[in-house]
Amino acid sequence: MNLRHMSKPSLFFAGFTVFYLIVVLANLGEENGTVRWIFLAGVAAIAIALQVRTALMKFNLETFFKVVHLVLAVLYLWAVGFGKWAKRGDPDEGAFSADGGTGFGIIAIVLGVALLVLAIMRIAGRSKVLPGLGVEQLTVILGVAAWMNILAFVVGWLATFEAGTGWGPVVAYFPASLIPQLGLITLAATEPGKVKALSAGTRRTFSIVALVAGVGVALFPFLAYVSAGSISLTALEGKTGDAASGPRLGYILLIFGVVTAVAALMRMRPKGLAEPGPNALVGHAVLTVGLVVFLIPLATLISIVRHSANVSAGIGVWLGLLAGLALLVVAIAELRSRGAVAA
């Protein structure tokens, strides 16, 4: 096939396939070799599928956003899956290593696969994924979760054990921060959906649950997050002198908790709280916050369990998980009760 007849997106992925083939061949015999070959085959399949798909559709701004989403998702998944997460000597540690990405790395890869699936669905013209949740909405929700997961790992978990940041999270941070912004742009252009209005009593009930959970999310980082013998560290403690450092990811949870609590209070007013958009309801925003504040303690818990040192999860981790789960439940219940439209 003449290169001039290839679309720019498929040409990009074809070039990336050739480049990555060189990388795979240069690292024959090393660990994760099978995974590298699978990833190479996946990128090559994307290049072929893009060429076929582009031949059937006209390239416009909408198509451009689809391709950008795909490129960012592939870059994010490649960085978290094959990048080094922590610098702890030679070799540096990867996503699945207990001394590397550990729980945060596992969650990052799960989110990366989900974002890649959403990008492929977008190119295929699919919009609905789950009741009340479409490709555009889930791109924003999962994109924010992926972004905060990387940030919590770098500023929180690594700081606790004084390890250097590997190149994987550094590279992944760029697409992770852009994917939710891309989702917001494309979500704003979707056809407005018709949803049911909540009664004052139902809205107040949802708001009270969100308020209590939000206050918990904000306060639980002040409790013990990591315990080692007689030493207990909160998720807000930094290193002073020779003292041990806590996982300072608590500041992220504190901000999300305060914002959620304030929004819940505002929503309890007679007129309630304005929706972010016709297809971006308050329930979608609560779902985003709930997923973030649930995954961060979950990643911390997995990391603590897998760590070789004699450490255990404090009460703050467990209560944080419950608060995040409560926000997820109330958000899903609201979206179902309002008949939210997937976009």
Tell me: pLDDT of 311 over 70.
yes
pLDDT tens-digit series, residues 151-206: 988 888 877 766 677 888 888 898 899 888 888 887 777 666 677 777 888 888 88
Question: Could you give the angle at the alpha carbon of 317 between the alpha carbons of 79 and 249, nearest 5°?
Answer: 50
Contact 57, 63 (CB under 8 A): yes
- Please indicate, yes or no, if residue 257 is contained in any of the structural domains: yes
Q: What is the average pLDDT across 119-142?
A: 81
Q: Tell me the average pLDDT across 268-285.
A: 79
Look over the chain and give the mean of its residue pLDDT values, rounded to a whole number.
79
DSSP notation for 49-106: HHHHHHHHS---HHHHHHHHHHHHHHHHHHHHHHS--EE-SSSPB-TT-TTTTHHHHH
In a domain, 191, yes or no: no
- Report the CATH number that the domain containing residue 244 is assigned in CATH: 1.20.1440
- Kindly tell me if the per-residue pLDDT of 298 is higher than 90: yes
Is 231 in a helix, a strand, or coil?
Answer: strand
**For the ranges 39-43, 81-85, 121-125, 208-212, the one whose mean pLDDT is highest:** 208-212
How many domains does one find in the chain? 2
Q: What confidence tier does 3 reach under pLDDT thresholds 50, 70, 90?
A: very low
Boundary-marking domain end, from 59, 77, 93: 59
Please check whether residue 193 lies inside any domain of the structure.
Answer: no
Contact criterion met (CB below 8 Å) for 272 and 172:
no
Q: How many CB atoms sit inside 10 A of residue 310's CB? A: 8
Q: Which of 253, 329, 230, 254 is nearest to 287 (CA)?
A: 329
What pairing do the DSSP bridges indicate for beta strands 164-165 and 133-134?
unpaired
SS3 of residue 19 by DSSP? helix
Residue 300 within any structural domain of the chain: yes
pLDDT bracket for residue 1 (50, 70, 90): very low
| Position 153 in a domain | no
Q: Please check the confidence at residue 58 and state whether its pLDDT lies above 70.
A: no
pTM of the model: 0.80
pLDDT, greater one: 251 or 100: 251
pLDDT score for 161: 66
Task: Give the DSSP per-residue string, 303-327.
Answer: HHHH-SSS-EE-HHHHHHHHHHHHH
Distance CA(88)–CA(100), nearest Å, equals: 8
In a domain, 206, yes or no: yes
The percent of residues in the chain predicted with pLDDT above 90, rounded, is 17
pLDDT higher than 90, residue 147 = yes
In-domain check, residue 132: no
Domain that holds residue 51: 1-59
Residue ending a domain, among 59, 80, 101, is 59
Domain assignment present for residue 22? The answer is: yes
CA–CA dist 263, 269 (Å, integer): 10
Q: Of 34, 59, 84, which one is at a domain's C-terminal end?
A: 59
C-alpha span between 313 and 321 (Å, rounded): 12
